[in-house]
Amino acid sequence: MIIIMSNDFTPDNLSDINKRLDDGGLQGKQIEGTEKTVIAVVGNVYPELRDEMSRMPGVSSVVRISKPYKLSSRETKQEDTIVDLPFNVSVGGNQFVVMAGPCSIESREQLFETAASVKAAGAHVLRGGAFKPRSSPYSFRGLGEEGLKLLFEAREEFNMPVITEVLSVRDVDLVAQYSDVLQIGARNMQNFILLDEVGKTGKPVMLKRALSGSIEEWLLASEYILSQDNPNVILCERGIRTFEKATRNTLDLGAIALVKQLSHLPVISDPSHGTGLWDLVEPMSLASIAVGADGLMIEVHPNPELALSDGPQSLKLDTFNNLMGVASNLAKVVGKPMAELPS
């Protein structure tokens, strides 16, 4: 349930409500809206308690939440969540953002050449993998901490927030030292202990949908992060595994549109993983804009044919530049213009 506070509630009212919830073995998560303050109640709520809470001082009304995901639901918070990043970049709301960079950080030269190019093309966030989950243990699995240091160096050089994946609980603190956004990859969407730990950092977290994850499971996974009093969650649709073999995955555009209705969290699209084919990245990027995505995450490499991971789905530098021009025009048409880069 959610408790909607009256406009004249006092700190003592909040304290009394939280104490009553605590006595009942429940958790109350305060959410500040533009017009109302609400308390999302997490736990097994019995009807008598709802009636009791509705009569407490400072309470305007008590509403039952029908969705199993409480904190991410539009029933709890009507306004879009906006996740603020360094360098005046925000994800969500009425502006469109693009995250771009190599799948794997391979060298300083490769990363810096890519960063300079995507920044010039209008990208807002630099992506780059330092720890890579690979299907084969013999594939390139990233530079580790060396890659994180290179990513942070590029952050400072190009004044761009950075995002990179964290694979395990043991690496959370290390990755959080260097990255502005902690990425949870598809394989870890339901690694609930890891979700708890990244939530505790307070840093923005981008949660990718699992290869076989339902929309409800995806949103429930986001609850693990939100329940750690971390509201800075970004969802990423990156394609699901279906019977189709012509593309790497099936990019679920309907999920983007639906989740924008169900949840207040920002949703971005990853057409690189969603298709696995570089020449499908542009059309699926444009389709993602059309269905309401808040941004894109795109893999870019100076020489995709030589890339140590995901070369077939990576855009060349000039191809990405061309895409940004087309994407910017469409974003304006749908009423969510590309966010301006800080001067």
pLDDT score recorded for residue 224: 96
Q: What is the pLDDT of residue 23?
A: 86
Centroid of chain to Cα 169: 19
Q: What architecture does CATH give domain 2-63? A: 2-Layer Sandwich (3.30)
pLDDT tier, 343 (very low <50, low <70, confident <90, very high otherwise) = low
13-56 residue pLDDT tens: 999 998 999 888 888 888 877 778 889 888 777 788 888 989 99
Range 26-32, long-range pairs (CB < 8 A, 24+ positions): 27/227, 28/3, 29/71, 29/226, 29/227, 29/229, 31/71, 31/76, 31/77, 31/231
Domain boundaries, the chain: 2-63, 83-333
44: tokens are 């097994």
For 136-186, the pLDDT digits (tens) are: 776 777 789 999 999 999 999 999 999 999 999 999 999 999 999 999 999
Domain 2-63 identical in fold to domain 83-333: no
Each residue of 112-127: pLDDT tens digit?
999 999 999 999 999 9
- The pLDDT value given to residue 289: 98
Dihedral of the CA atoms 323, 326, 331, 334 (nearest 10)? -130
At residue 342, the pLDDT reads 66
Q: What is the pLDDT of residue 314?
A: 97
Give the Cα separation of 184 and 166 in Å (integer): 6
Residue 89 CA, distance from chain mean position = 14
What gap in Å lies between CA 251 and CA 256, rounded to an integer? 10
Any bridge partners for residue 268, and if so which? 236, 295
pLDDT in tens, 209-220: 999 999 999 999
How long, in residues, is the chain?
Answer: 343
> Residue 56, by phi and psi: left (phi above 0), alpha (psi -120 to 50) or beta?
beta
Give the separation between CA 31 and CA 5, rounded to whole angstroms: 10
Token pair of 239 as six digits: 């394609």
User: CB of 179 within 8 A of CB of 164?
Assistant: yes
| Predicted local confidence at residue 134, as pLDDT | 67
The pTM assigned to this predicted structure is 0.92
pLDDT tens-digit series, residues 251-260: 999 999 999 9
What span, in angstroms and rounded, lies between the C-alpha atoms of 248 and 230?
Answer: 33
Q: Which of 300, 245, 246, 244 is nearest to 270 (CA)?
A: 300
Residue 249: CA count within 13 A, CB half-sphere: 23
Out of 57-66, 171-180, 231-240, 322-331, least confident range = 57-66
233-291 pLDDT per residue, tens: 999 999 999 999 999 999 999 999 999 999 999 999 999 999 999 999 999 999 999 99
pLDDT score recorded for residue 29:
87
Q: Pick from 70, 128, 136: which is nearest to 104 by CA?
A: 128
Which single residue is written with the structure tokens 């649709």?
237
Provide CATH code, domain 83-333.
3.20.20.70
Burial of 66 (0-12, 13-18, 19+ CB in 10 A): exposed
